[in-house]
């Protein structure tokens, strides 16, 4: 799929993302993946350069993504990546205007994030065993749930990130922005138990908080695999790191109703991103009402009698 005209601007855009916007590695990879799909489409359309893209082309590209079976959320992300990239080309003078501006995005689905309840979380983190890997996995699970960290934030932690005496962790999130997040008592205990075990690894190669048995920093994929394995072992159900972040946000909001505090702890720039958890909170309130309110119980009983 090599094409000098396409590839040169993609390389320049990648440099812009990394050095001018300080985008996270995963963000850069996501843009490159989306532009690969767009570039393949352009070549199939016999376009010689990005500058030949029109609004009509992009509408057809969106339709092709749909025909390929991509979910609406994935198509929205691809078109958003395309819009950002083409805006970059406008600034370079390759395009007079951004053809993606008038392309309608697929309607977003209001799918709520999957969470674990408090009992499930308690069961998940109570790992039995005294092996090196048991101490590490307990610390990973406790910290993910205690502080609502993103996966990339967890694997990026170093010794200087932890302030255990102050019950705080300094994390670097999206856009290379840092924030301080509280750590719960259980997570502190798990970290204090894990760190001496980590330090016994004589071939440890860096100051990473979480390392492999070879002494290298854990990758996002290796953490995902460990969390998934513990989910199957402890709960007999699939679990992924972001589920623990969702559970953290939901449980904090249920107990405090402080949306701004949850926003700050999660590192959301826009509070609208955090507001998805208010829907979860209202669901919980509705269930509590149905289970506890005498009028709600009477209504359900009446409905059952009516349907007999």
**Spatial distance between the Cα atoms of 271 and 275, rounded to a whole number of angstroms:** 6
Please say whether the beta carbons of 37 and 82 come within 8 A: no
User: How does residue 289 score in pLDDT terms, banded at 50, 70 and 90?
Assistant: very low
Beta strand segments in 44-190, E = 162-163, 168-172, 178-182
What are the residue numbers of the active site?
A: 150, 174, 242, 245, 268, 277
The pTM score is 0.60
Q: Is the pLDDT of residue 136 over 90?
A: yes
226: pLDDT strictly greater than 90: yes
Does 47 map to a domain? yes
Least confident of 189-193, 267-271, 284-288: 284-288
State the pLDDT at residue 177: 81
* Residue 12 pLDDT: 94
| Contact assessment for residue 281 and residue 257, using Cβ atoms and an 8 Å cutoff | yes
pLDDT of residue 300: 43
The predicted structure's pLDDT at residue 304: 46
Q: Domain of 44?
A: 4-92
pLDDT at 72 over 80: yes
pLDDT at 109 over 70: no
CATH of the domain at 61: 1.10.150.130
What is the reported pLDDT for 308? 47
pLDDT above 70 covers what percent of the chain? 82
What is the DSSP pairing of strand 162-163 with strand 178-182? unpaired
Token pair of 61 as six digits: 């590209």
d(Cα 130, Cα 286) in Å, to the nearest integer? 42
Higher pLDDT pick, 178 / 305: 178
Q: What percent of the chain has pLDDT over 90?
A: 50
Q: Is residue 295 part of a domain?
A: no
Residue 128 lies in a domain: yes
Same domain for 186 and 139, yes or no, is: yes
Q: Is residue 22 pLDDT above 60, yes or no?
A: yes
Using the 3D structure, point to which of 92, 110, 132 is the last residue of a domain.
Answer: 92
Residues 6+ apart with CB under 8 A from 56: none
CATH number at residue 134: 1.10.443.10
Q: Are residues 13 and 134 both part of a single domain? A: no
pLDDT confidence tier of residue 279, bands split at 50, 70 and 90: low
The least confident of 2-11, 50-59, 184-193, 210-219 is 2-11
**In the predicted model, what is the mean pLDDT of residues 218-237?**
93
Which pair of structure tokens corresponds to residue 51?
């500058």
Tell me: do 264 and 174 sit in the same domain. yes
Residue 288: the pLDDT is 46
Q: Are 17 and 62 contained in the same domain?
A: yes
Task: Look at residue 25 and tell me if it is in a domain.
Answer: yes
pLDDT above 60 (res 301)? no
Task: Find the mean pLDDT for residues 159-169.
Answer: 93
Pair 184, 80 in one domain: no
Helices then strands, counting H and E runs in the chain, come out as 14, 3
Residue 29, in any domain of the structure? yes
Does any domain span residue 102? Answer: no
One domain for residues 234 and 122:
yes
Q: Do 267 and 273 touch, CB atoms closer than 8 A?
A: no
Instruction: State the average pLDDT for the chain.
Output: 83
Let me know if residue 301 belongs to a domain: no
Q: Residue 224's pLDDT is what?
A: 94
145 and 259 inside one domain? yes
22 and 79 in one domain?
yes
Q: Does residue 271 share a domain with residue 137? A: yes
Q: What is the pLDDT of residue 253?
A: 72
Residues 73 and 142 in one domain: no
Of 19-28, 41-50, 111-120, 186-195, highest mean pLDDT:
186-195
- Report pLDDT digits (tens) over 235-278: 998 899 988 988 888 888 777 766 777 777 777 766 666 666 66
Residue 97 belongs to some domain of the structure: no
Query: Between the CA of residue 298 and those of 3, 101, 282, 301, 304, what are the distances in Å?
Result: 70, 53, 21, 5, 10
Q: Of 58, 92, 126, which closes a domain?
A: 92
Claim to verify: residue 36 and residue 131 sit in the same structural domain:
no
Q: Are residues 148 and 22 in the same domain?
A: no
Question: Looking at the predicted structure, is the pLDDT value of residue 219 above 80?
Answer: yes
List C-alpha distances in Å: 53 to 34, 98, 104, 243, 291: 15, 9, 16, 39, 57
Answer for the pair 53, 99: CB distance below 8 angstroms, yes or no: yes
- Number of domains composing the chain: 2
Q: Which residue has the higher pLDDT, 279 or 206?
A: 206
């Amino acid at each position: 799929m090599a094409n000098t005209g396409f590839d040169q601007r993609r390389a320049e855009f990648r440099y812009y993302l990394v050095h001018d916007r300080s985008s996270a590695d995963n963000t850069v990879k996501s843009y490159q993946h989306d532009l690969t799909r767009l570039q393949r489409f352009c070549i199939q359309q016999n376009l010689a350069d990005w500058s030949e893209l029109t609004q009509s082309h992009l509408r057809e590209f969106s339709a092709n993504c749909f025909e390929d079976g991509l979910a609406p959320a994935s198509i929205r992300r691809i078109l958003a990546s395309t819009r950002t990239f083409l805006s970059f080309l406008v600034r370079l003078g390759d395009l007079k205007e951004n053809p993606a501006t008038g392309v309608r995005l697929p309607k977003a689905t209001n799918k709520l994030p999957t969470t674990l309840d408090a009992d499930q979380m308690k069961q998940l983190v109570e790992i039995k065993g005294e092996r090196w890997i048991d101490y590490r996995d307990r610390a990973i699970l406790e910290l993910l749930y205690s502080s609502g960290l993103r996966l990339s934030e967890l694997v990026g932690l170093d010794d200087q990130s932890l302030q255990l005496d102050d019950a705080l962790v300094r994390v670097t999130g999206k856009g290379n922005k840092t924030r301080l997040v509280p750590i719960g008592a259980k997570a502190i205990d798990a970290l204090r138990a894990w760190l001496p075990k980590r330090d016994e690894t004589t071939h440890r190669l860096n100051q990473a908080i979480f390392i492999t048995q070879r002494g290298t920093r854990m990758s996002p994929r290796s953490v995902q695999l460990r969390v998934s394995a513990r989910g199957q072992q402890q709960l007999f159900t699939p679990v992924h790191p972001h589920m623990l972040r969702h559970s953290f946000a939901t449980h904090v909001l249920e107990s405090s109703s402080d949306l701004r505090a949850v926003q700050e702890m999660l590192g959301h720039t826009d509070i609208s991103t955090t507001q998805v958890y208010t829907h979860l909170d209202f669901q919980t309130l509705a269930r509590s009402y149905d289970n506890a309110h005498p009028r709600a119980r009477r209504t359900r009983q009446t409905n059952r009698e009516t349907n007999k």
